[in-house]
Structure 1
Amino acid sequence: MSFCTRCGRPLAEGETCSCSTAFTNPPQNNYPQQPQYNGCGGQPYPQGYPQAPYGQPPYPQYVQPPYAQQKKSDGWVIALVIGIVLLLALIAAAILVPAMLGYTHKSRLSSIRSQANVLRKAAETSMIEIDEEGSNVKGIYIISSDEKDNVAVPFDIDDFNTRLDRYFEGAEKYKYFIVVNNGYVEYAALSESWTKKTEMIGTWPVGTDDKPREYSKDGSSVFSDKKTNLDNLYWEAYDQIFG
């Protein structure tokens, strides 16, 4: 006995199973063909599936965008510039400050020397007036801003001081003394202090650099130590005249 190779039914000799006929001509379904959708519930694509976003290969190579480079700090440059500026400022100060101090010192010295000359001229003018009025101006003597240090003055000292104040505006400011010989001022010295060695001294005739000139009876140029004071100059003059 034979069997159907499809359904396994036993067949009589020479019999053909009806299932073979059914599989040979399968029935056609009458269902309508479903349209192709674009995957999003929309209408079908006009030409099948969409194209790739970059078109046909070869596709462009992907390049990673460069990251923004971190800006380097300029702090060290600023610090270097500031250091150079400070160094130049220190060098300039080292040069200019001593020069300015020297200029200030010379300016003060020149001013006080000028005042000594003004004192000398004012004293001579006062003695000319006294002489013209008949007072005696002969002899050698010392006139001082400190009354107790006036020595051998032959005329009224109060009258002289009144006239001197009129011609010398610094009479109240400065300490001074003058050496007079027959109405002519041979020497004048003044300062703002009798005893301070730090105070500048102006003399006529003038000294050299910052060393004041001492009085010399014979007219020689003698320069005192720069650390001297007005009181020392007075007693040196006194000793030469009356010593």
Structure 2
Amino acid sequence: MPFCTQCGRPLAEGETCSCRNNSANITPPPPQSQYNGYGYQPYQQGYPQAPYGYGQPYPPYGQPPYAQQKKSNGWIVGLVIGIVLLFALIAAAILVPAMLGYTRKARLSNIRSEANVLRKAAETSMIEIDEEGSNVKGRYIISSDKKDNVAVPFDVDDFNARLDRYFEGAEKYKYFIVVNNGYVEYAALSESWTKKTEKIGTWPVGTDDKPREYSKDGSSVFSDKKTNLDTLYWKAYDEIFG
């Protein structure tokens, strides 16, 4: 005996069950809610949906408007630095020679002043020796190097001891003086006998570039600017005893 595959009712041979005709009009029951053991709906399986909708990806990360790269101002900085360096070079080109010239003139002025102090100290010492009865007559050369003393008529050691009291640079400088009857006609000093680069101070003074040479008649004779103290000494020697 056949049975209905829908409701299970037994059917006669060739009979069609009426449940099939009514199945299309039957509303299916609503799905039953499933609860967990505590009366609440169970947690959803898997990760929660994205806030932008199921299956929608998060928007790509990008820099905010304020973090956008600004235009580089490096060329402005480079230009300013270049201008500053240019002005610095121009200032150096002007000031350095001026400062060197000022330093050279200051050294020359100082060495000339020292030559004048030497002359005054020598004359003071000479006056003391003369007053004590020593002979100061004649023309002679007194030098810081004893071997270069020429025709000195009195005790040179006594003179040097007196000179040290009046001239503080007696130990620092190399010098010679030309004396005529107790009066200094010429004085020259430097920090070296032979270096042509050392400034030479003379009394009477020379020019800015050339030291003055000794002259018996008092005429103005100037030496080469690259001369040294030793050369001036031998020219004075030749002028007096040559």
Pair in the same fold by TM > 0.5: yes
Partner of 1:173: 172
Identical counterparts, % of pairs: 89
Structure 2 CA distance for aligned equivalents of residues 81 and 90 of structure 1? 14
Structure 1 CA distance for aligned equivalents of residues 220 and 69 of structure 2? 79
Q: Aligned AA for 2:227?
A: T
Aligned to 2:178, the other structure's residue is in SS state strand
Q: Aligned AA for 2:195?
A: K
Q: Is the contact made by 1:143 and 1:178 (CA closer than 8 Å) also made in structure 2?
A: yes
Structure 1 CA distance for aligned equivalents of residues 233 and 69 of structure 2? 81
Partner of 1:185: 184
Q: State the Cα distance separating 1:70 from its structure 2 match.
A: 4.7
Structure 2 CA distance for aligned equivalents of residues 210 and 108 of structure 1? 12
CA RMSD of aligned residues (A): 1.3
Q: State the Cα distance separating 1:214 from its structure 2 match.
A: 0.2
Structure 1 CA distance for aligned equivalents of residues 69 and 103 of structure 2? 56
Aligned pairs (5 A) from 1:33-48: none
Q: State the Cα distance separating 1:128 from its structure 2 match.
A: 0.2
How many pairs were matched up?
A: 178
Partner of 2:218: 219
Q: TM-score, normalised by structure 1?
A: 0.72
Structure 2 CA distance for aligned equivalents of residues 106 and 85 of structure 1? 31
Aligned to 2:232, the other structure's residue is in SS state helix
Structure 2 CA distance for aligned equivalents of residues 116 and 190 of structure 1? 6
Partner of 1:23: none
Partner of 1:90: 89
Structure 1 CA distance for aligned equivalents of residues 183 and 216 of structure 2? 13
Q: State the Cα distance separating 1:72 from its structure 2 match.
A: 1.4
Q: Aligned AA for 2:132?
A: E
Aligned to 2:130, the other structure's residue is in SS state helix
Name segments (4+ residues, structure 1) moved above 4 Å.
67-70
Partner of 1:141: 140
Structure 2 CA distance for aligned equivalents of residues 195 and 71 of structure 1? 68
Q: TM-score, normalised by structure 2?
A: 0.72
Aligned to 1:85, the other structure's residue is in SS state helix
Q: State the Cα distance separating 1:176 from its structure 2 match.
A: 0.3
Partner of 1:16: none
Q: Is the contact made by 1:214 and 1:237 (CA closer than 8 Å) also made in structure 2?
A: yes
**1:16-59: per-residue Cα shift (whole Å, max 9, x none)?**
xxxxxxxxxxxxxxxxxxxxxxxxxxxxxxxxxxxxxxxxxxxx
Unpaired stretches in structure 2, ≥5 consecutive residues? 1-64
Structure 2 CA distance for aligned equivalents of residues 193 and 208 of structure 1? 20
Structure 2 CA distance for aligned equivalents of residues 185 and 159 of structure 1? 17
Structure 2 CA distance for aligned equivalents of residues 229 and 82 of structure 1? 47
Partner of 2:77: 78
**1:164-203: per-residue Cα shift (whole Å, max 9, x none)?**
0000000000000000000000000000111111111000
Q: Is the contact made by 1:109 and 1:210 (CA closer than 8 Å) also made in structure 2?
A: no
Q: Aligned AA for 1:153?
A: V
